[in-house]
Amino acid sequence: MSSTAIVGLQWGDEGKGKIVDLLSDQVDLAVRCQGGANAGHTVEFGDCQFILHLVPTGVLRPDVRNLIGGGVVIDLPGLFRELSELLKKGIQWQDRLFISVSAHLVLPYHKLVEQADERARGPHRIGTTLRGIGFAYADKITRRGVRVGDLYHRDKLITRLQMGLDAHRDQIMTLPDVQLPTADVLADELQEYAEKIRPYVVNPSEFLHEEIARKSRILFEGAQGAPLDSDGGTDPYVTSSTTTGGGIRTGLGVDPRAVEDVIGVTKAYCTRVGNGPFPTELTDEIGEKLRAQGKEYGATTGRPRRCGWVDGVLLRYTSRINGTTHLAVTKLDVLDGMDVLKVCTKYTDQHGPLDLANLDGVQPEYEEWPGWSESTVGATKWSDLPANCKKYLERLSELAEAKLHIVSTGPRRDQTIRM
Ligand code: IMP
């Protein structure tokens, strides 16, 4: 695999961080393509746990260069908090980090207007991460956003900040006790970060073109998951970027043929954080057990994740829209000791075409698979797995129409089966 994309096949949090980290020992460059600090990629090795929000996971490997691509929205203070945390844990990133000149910025007023918007939606709120992601992308699309490159053009910067403040002021003022800075004050604050990132700023298309010409091995690191995609997902309970393989191409301005293999990541069960439909959700003691055993709490917000069975209808769909060639299944060990496992293969009362935006009330039809009593924790070989476990994994691979490639049997790097 010389250039590979890693994408989420569920509602984010599939364990992409660990898979990216594993594969980054074979690459020269790791690239974040979309999303922002709403993502939380958790990686454990040695005695350390790392949770990366904006910096590509490749940063944890000393020989890997890292690009934050143009499709990402960057919260500069958050980025620097993350970078200084990395330094404290001994990760030197200074000569290995690159930032796209065209990435848009998440500004303080994006977080405030998102808070006000969520409040105004009342029972219909999305349950966002409150990281200002949606409004940063909204300003990008409505052409009043601030790009990294604009930081070096003060007049344009002030104009854009003023436009953003004016557009969102009324809604922000519905929040109690809030004060908005002026465009000048905001520009001064940004100036400090602008100087800090200046040495790392690149044009992502030119940068990648050169890397590809030099035959660098590239890992494209997707964030969130396909049903959270703003085009094909469970609208309105979605994030605001293109979370499928398509987002890699548009976010970076890279030759679409640059991505050779696509590894889709799914948990051995399913989770979702935030509101929205989840046909295979378990609100009973089995769901509780999955949450407890899988330590299912959001890496970014700490919210408890909703848990359920694998939804094979979604798995097939999300695998197809990503052009998934290989499947990675994570958190297999969490299912140890379950008598029966269920997989949804059909929605019984679906009328008309599959429509992820209108899944409320669909009834999942399940097939049942016998569980296993043995522990799979830390298994490193396919031959170590119980027979029922192998059959279950093979079924997931069949549903995803993708070759089983990696099975994760614990949070650490070494707790992995590579096929
Ligand atoms: P936003 O991306 O903060 O606007 O949130 C929109 C929806 O996407 C909410 O349901 C979030 O919980 C969900 N979401 C955003 N990023 C992630 C992620 O990295 N993992 C899981 N869910 C996410």
Report how many helices (DSSP H) and strands (DSSP E) the chain contains, helices first.
11, 19
Q: Are residues 223 and 256 in the same domain?
A: yes
Which of 262, 286, 303 is where one domain is finished? 262
pLDDT tens digits, 7-27: 999 999 999 999 999 999 999
Both 370 and 280 in a single domain?
Answer: yes
Q: Is the pLDDT of residue 350 over 80?
A: no
351 has pLDDT over 80: no
Mutate to test the pocket of ligand 1, among 7, 9, 14, 38 (most ligand atoms within 8 A of CB): 38
Same domain for 60 and 169, yes or no, is no
Last residue of a domain, one of 196, 211, 236: 196
| Atom 10 (ligand 1) nearest CA | 274
Average pLDDT over residues 174-180: 96
Q: Is 114 in the pocket of ligand 1 (CB under 6 A)?
A: no
For ligand 1, mutation pick of 54, 128, 356 (most atoms within 8 Å of CB): 128
CA of 186 to the centre of ligand 1 (A): 27
Tell whether ligand 1 has an atom less than 6 A from the beta carbon of residue 13: yes
Going by pLDDT thresholds of 50, 70 and 90, the confidence category of residue 94 is very high
Ligand 1 pocket test: pick from 7, 32, 224, 301 the residue with the most ligand atoms within 8 Å of its Cβ: 224
Phi (first) and psi of residue 12, to 5 degrees: 75, 175
Q: How far is the CA of 239 from the centre of ligand 1 (A)?
A: 5
Ligand 1 contact, 37 CB (< 6 A):
no
Catalytic residue among 21, 41, 110, 333: 41
pLDDT greater than 80 at residue 136:
yes
222 & 328 share domain: no
pLDDT above 70 (res 331): yes
Q: Does residue 169 sit in the same domain as residue 209?
A: no
Cα(134) to centroid(ligand 1), Å:
10
pLDDT single digits (tens) 37-61 = 999 888 888 788 899 999 999 999 9
- Based on the domain organization, do 211 and 68 belong to the same domain? yes
Percent of the chain whose predicted confidence (pLDDT) is above 70:
100
The mean pLDDT of the chain is 95
Where would I find the H helices in 200-350? 204-213, 245-252, 285-293, 312-322
| Marked catalytic residue, from 13, 229, 311, 333 | 13
> Looking at residues 26-37, what average pLDDT do you find?
96
pLDDT reading at 202 higher than 90:
yes
Q: Is 104 designated active site?
A: no
Distance CA 138, CA 123 (A): 22
Query: What pLDDT, on the 0 to 100 scale, is given for residue 349?
Result: 80
- pLDDT, residue 297, reads 94
Q: Are 166 and 256 within one domain? A: no
Q: Which domain holds residue 130?
A: 104-196
On whether the CB atoms of residues 307 and 281 are closer than 8 A, the answer is: yes
Q: Which of 16, 53, 228 to mutate to test the pocket of ligand 1 (most atoms within 8 A of CB)?
A: 228
DSSP 8-state symbol, 256: G
Q: Please, which pLDDT band fits residue 208 given cuts at 50, 70 and 90? A: very high
- Counting residues of the chain whose pLDDT is more than 90, the rounded percentage is 90
Ligand 1 site, residue 386, Cβ cutoff 6 A: no
CA distance 186 to 10: 37
Of the pLDDT bands very low, low, confident and very high (cuts 50, 70, 90), residue 1 is: low
Structurally, how many domains does the chain consist of?
3
Say whether both 293 and 364 belong to one domain. Answer: yes
Boundary (domain end) residue, out of 225, 245, 262: 262
For residue 211, how far is its CA from the centre of ligand 1 (angstroms)? 31
Which of ligand 1's atoms lies nearest the C-alpha of 40?
Answer: 19
Q: Is 234 found in the same domain as 214?
A: yes
Q: What are phi and psi of 77, to 5 degrees?
A: -60, -40
Residue 370 has pLDDT above 70, yes or no: yes
Q: 12: Cβ below 6 Å to ligand 1?
A: yes
User: Among 312, 332, 327, which Cα is nearest to 265's?
Assistant: 327
* Angstrom distance (rounded) from CA 399 to CA 391: 12
Q: How far is the CA of 388 from the centre of ligand 1 (A)?
A: 34
313 and 412 share one domain: yes
Q: Whose CA is nearest to atom 5 of ligand 1?
A: 128
351 is catalytic: no
Ligand 1 centroid to Cα of residue 243, in Å, is 11
Residues 23, 59, single domain; the answer is: yes
135 Cβ below 6 A of ligand 1: no
My answer on whether 128 and 67 are in the same domain is no
* CATH number, domain with residue 161: 1.10.300.10
* Apex 359 CA angle, 353 and 365, nearest 5: 85
Q: Which residues contact 345 (CB under 8 A, 6 or more apart)?
A: 312, 313, 365, 366, 367, 399
Q: pLDDT tens for residues 403-413?
A: 999 999 999 99
Average pLDDT, stretch 107-116? 98
Per-residue pLDDT band for 352 (boundaries 50, 70, 90) equals confident
Q: Is 52 in the pocket of ligand 1 (CB under 6 A)?
A: no
Kindly report the CATH number assigned to the domain that includes residue 273.
Answer: 3.90.170.10
